[in-house]
Amino acid sequence: MPRLFVAIDLPEVVKESLVLMQNGLRGARWVARENLHLTVRFIGEVSAEEADEIHSVLGEVRAVPFIIKLGEIGLFSSGGKPRSVWISVQDRSSIDILKQHIDRSLLRLGINPEGRKYVPHVTLARFREKPSKLSDFMPRLGTGRSVPVRVEQFVLFSSFLAHAGAIYTPEVYYPLVAN
């Protein structure tokens, strides 16, 4: 059963600039450079037949290329504990439009949108325990950074949960085409 999600893969130069932010926080489990990505839609575990159907409806999505800016730093917490730090998308309107197309395609297969609110983000680090210097780290990264990303395709990824962490594999690339 493949575990799938749809994401935007980031250009190497953008990954490089994000890697430069990954320091100075003891206890953080930094996301490896090759795993940095921006999820548009998490799908989850599906059968091989469903994966084929998903591929075919995603291939029918028509959307134009766009530019996003990665910006402020954010924090996800649960149960009162910080879980991850991430970089947000400053102007999310284009990514929301792409997500609507993808959600609609998946709905045709009976795959309902996730219940939780969509927050476009690139995870930089995850935590098992609260890192001691989190309150210093957040403002250091939160000021004035803006990394533009030209989005010319989206990608169907599989996620394999290995002992050492998740391994993400790009399965299919879907180009965005200008009108």
The yes-or-no answer on residue 163 being catalytic is no
C-alpha span between 121 and 178 (Å, rounded):
25
How far apart are CB 170 and ligand 2AM at their closest, in Å? 12
C-alpha span between 4 and 95 (Å, rounded):
19
* 39 forms part of the interface with ligand 2AM (CB under 6 A): yes
C-alpha span between 61 and 156 (Å, rounded):
13
How far apart are CB 179 and ligand 2AM at their closest, in Å? 29
C-alpha span between 145 and 10 (Å, rounded):
17
Query: Exactly one of 55, 101, 121, 163 is catalytic; which is it?
Result: 121
How far apart are CB 123 and ligand 2AM at their closest, in Å? 3
How many residues sit in the footprint of ligand 2AM (CB under 6 A)? 6
* 118 forms part of the interface with ligand 2AM (CB under 6 A): no
- Residues 148 and 71: beta-carbon distance below 8 Å: no
Q: Dihedral of CA 99/126/116/108: which sign?
A: positive
- In the DSSP assignment, the letter for residue 11 is P
The yes-or-no answer on residue 121 being catalytic is yes
C-alpha span between 16 and 19 (Å, rounded):
5
* 42 forms part of the interface with ligand 2AM (CB under 6 A): yes
Cβ closest to ligand 2AM, residue 64 vs residue 100: 100
Among 70, 98, 105, 159, binds ligand 2AM (CB under 6 A): 159
Count other Cβ atoms within 10 Å, centred on residue 172: 16
* 5 forms part of the interface with ligand 2AM (CB under 6 A): yes
* 15 forms part of the interface with ligand 2AM (CB under 6 A): no
Residues labelled catalytic: 37, 121
**What residue ranges bind ligand 2AM (CB under 6 A)?**
5, 39, 42, 84, 123, 159
